[in-house]
Structures are given as structure tokens and as C-alpha cells.
Amino acid sequence: MQMIELENTTMKQNQVNSKKGLQILLETDEDDTRPVYIAGNFNNWKTQDKNYMMEQIGANLYQFNFAIDFTFPDELLYKFTKGDWSEVEIGKNSEITSNRSTAIRSGKVREYVPKWRKNWLPFKIDYLPKVHLISDEFEIPQLNKTRKIWALLPHDYDTSNESYPVMYLQDAQNLFNEEAKYGNWEIDKKLAVMAEYKIGKIIIIAIEHAEEDRIKEYNVGKTVLGKGQGKKYIKFMTETLKPFVDANFRTKQEREHTGIGGSSMGGLISVFSGLMYPEIYGKLMIFSPSLWVVPKLTIDSENQYTENTKIYLYAGGDESDTMIEHVRSFKKNMIASEFVKDKMKINLSINMEGTHSERYWSDEFPKAIEWLFFNSKEN
């Protein structure tokens, strides 16, 4: 009798488990407040899909239950993230982990994650870009000045025959300089991780700002800041610097492979660069732009080259009282313009906790580069 009761209990328990479908249990050594998501071939590898956020059921212990009627792929492939590929699971030695897989449809699968990436770090030295000083005193004939300019080349540039897309970035002093006064974007480290993950390789041309004349050079026309030299600076980048870069490095020269970007006033000058030379710049990376300088910015001329332009627009909610309002208004006006409508793709990213600082621009940089240049579904 006792044996029969035990068998009946086991059968009932198995029936209950089967009704619950597949259960994924995850244990991790690192405790933090970020939620855990499961991403895989069942949701197009979306890393922050709220439908697949795991439930925390204990200290460093999470679970996710697939419904009994869930339609599984032939083989379930998945990984765990903290909401982005920049915060994906990694091995105990910070190495990339392979996709996890299972063929079962019910019961429990127990998994373990020793560490997580944080803001695309850590990185591996072998993948760091080669930092090349183009010139300490590159001539700017349009302004009768000189400037220090750098090129960050893919780690395997010297051993390959590849040609690469190019992004021109402002404020080089704050992009990869460990001694920068207010911190830096760490783009060299972020590019290293992107190369390791085979997301894509790119040449970055980093142009140092003009120190005390920075505002004047990044200001276009007459604005609330006075009369600027921005148009001359943009002509320098477009008519002098880009031809030099294309002649001396293995670049993909077409507009669909050429971008320009920056933050704050550097973001503003990049906006104007894209508007003045849409036939040159097909990708704009605009972080926390100083749109308050030109509150009545409008698009008032038709140009065939606005077709397929991509803009990655970022702002932080803790930057100023008007930053979010300005970027949303900018996006709305761009989309509403009869000359731009249905021609541009604009990705607006807002971090409500973001401040006007290199820390948050650093976090956004690899996401922007991936979306602008290497997202095959968008390009």
C-alpha cells in the first residue's frame, strides 16, 4: 500500500511539473540590484524583453518559467543579461561564454553565472585599437589654426586588408585619455570589447577641441552665445580632414559608412555638420546636444541625401530642466519636416538617471556605434 501511495504521489508531482512547462533556475555569485533577463532565439535575442525578465526568488537566485503551451524552437538557445549586451554574463576569468542550450520542454534546468560585464568592461588588451597620432599640429586653413588629431584603428589593422567605416568625434581630450579632468568615454576599451564580440570594427578620428575657443568653434552662426566659427570648422572636417583620412587610411568613403558625433556643444556641431553636408555624413551620433543654443533650429532645405540617414540621439534625465524636452522636440521636428519625413531613422535613447557627464556618454557609445553601423536589420 505504501509503495502504491508513493508511486501515486510521484505521478501527481510529475503532472504538476509538466503543467508548469520548462523552469530555468539561475544562481549567480554577484549580487546587485539590476534585474536579470533571459534572451535567446525564442525572442530574437532581445536583451531587455520584459516578457522574459527573471523572478528573483532568493539571494542571487532567479527563475523563469516557460508556459506549458510555449512554442519552442528545435533547440532552445539563450544567455543571461542584466538588460543589455554591455551587461551580459561572462565566465569566471571574464571570458565570453558560449550560448546555453537545452532540448527539454519541461522540468528544471539549473544554470550558474559567476560574473557579469558592467558597461562593456572588462576588456582584453589584445583587442585594443591602435592609437595613432595623425599630427600634433594638423593645419586648419579655414580657421588659420592647427590641432592635435588622433586615429583609433582596429586592433588588427596592420595585419588585414580590410577597409573600415569611419566616425569623426569631437572633444578628443575626453574620449580615451585616462588623465582627463572630468573622466573619459573609454572608447578604446569599448572598441576592444566590441571587436572581441565581433560586433564590428571601425576607425575613429578623434579631433581635440580648441580649449578656450571650444565654444566659439562649435557654435554655428549667430546664437545666444554670440557669433561662432562653426561653419568654418565644419568645412575643415569635411573638405580638409576627411579627404586626408580617406587618402591615408583604408576607409569606406561613402556616406553610408561615414559618421560624425559628439556630446554637448560637440553634439550640436555634429547636428549642423549632418545638415550642411548630408551627402557626406550618413550617420550622426548626438549625445546631450546643446540645443538650447539654437531653440528655433529648423530644417528648411530639401536634399536628396537625407535618404537613409541614421541619427542616434541620447539625453539624460538628470542633465537640466529642459534637456529631455529639447531632444524630444528635435526628434519631432526632424520627423515632421517634409524634407526629412520617412527618410531618416532616429533612435532616441533616454536614461532618466543620466547626468551631463562622460560616464553616461561612455555607456551609450558602443550602443550607438552598433546601431548606426552594424545593425544589419537597420542598415
Q: What angle do CA 58, 62, 67 make, to 5 degrees?
A: 130
Asked whether residue 61 is assigned to any structural domain, the reply reads: yes
- Out of 116, 141, 166, pick the residue that ends a domain: 116
Long-range contacts of 52-55 (CB under 8 A, 24+ apart): 54/24, 54/26, 54/80
Q: pTM of the prediction?
A: 0.82
Q: Which uninterrupted H or E stretch holds 274?
A: helix 265-276
Pair 278, 216 in one domain: yes
Kindly give the confidence (pLDDT) of every residue in the chain, 379 residues in length, as a single tens digit, with 9 standing for 90 and above.
Answer: 444 454 454 444 444 444 568 999 999 987 677 899 999 999 999 888 999 999 999 989 999 999 999 999 999 999 999 988 888 999 999 899 999 999 999 999 999 999 999 888 899 999 999 999 999 999 999 999 999 999 999 999 999 999 999 999 999 999 999 888 888 999 999 999 999 988 899 999 999 999 999 999 999 988 888 898 999 999 999 999 999 999 999 999 999 999 999 999 999 999 999 989 999 999 999 999 998 887 566 555 455 556 688 999 999 999 988 888 888 988 887 766 655 556 778 899 998 889 999 999 999 999 999 999 997 544 4
131 and 104 assigned to the same domain: no
Q: What angle do CA 61, 66, 67 make, to 5 degrees?
A: 135
Return the SS3 of 111: strand
Cα–Cα distance for residue pair 193/203, rounded to 1 Å:
15
Using the 3D structure, point to which of 87, 116, 145 is the last residue of a domain.
116
Please tell me the distance from the alpha carbon of residue 339 to that of residue 300, in angstroms, as a whole number. 8
Q: Number of structural domains, the chain?
A: 2
Final residue of a structural domain among 83, 116, 149: 116
List the beta strands (DSSP E) in 216-352: 222-223, 226-227, 258-263, 283-287, 309-316, 344-351
Q: Are 268 and 294 in contact (CB under 8 A)?
A: yes
- CATH number of the domain encompassing residue 92: 2.60.40.10
Owning domain of residue 256: 125-374
| Chain Cα centroid distance, residue 186 | 13
Q: Among 204, 314, 344, 215, which Cα is nearest to 260's?
A: 204
Specify if 216 maps to a domain. yes
379 is a domain residue? no
Residue 86 and residue 168 in one domain: no
> Element (H or E) spanning 132, and its range?
strand 130-140
Distance between CA atoms of residues 269 and 267, nearest Å = 6
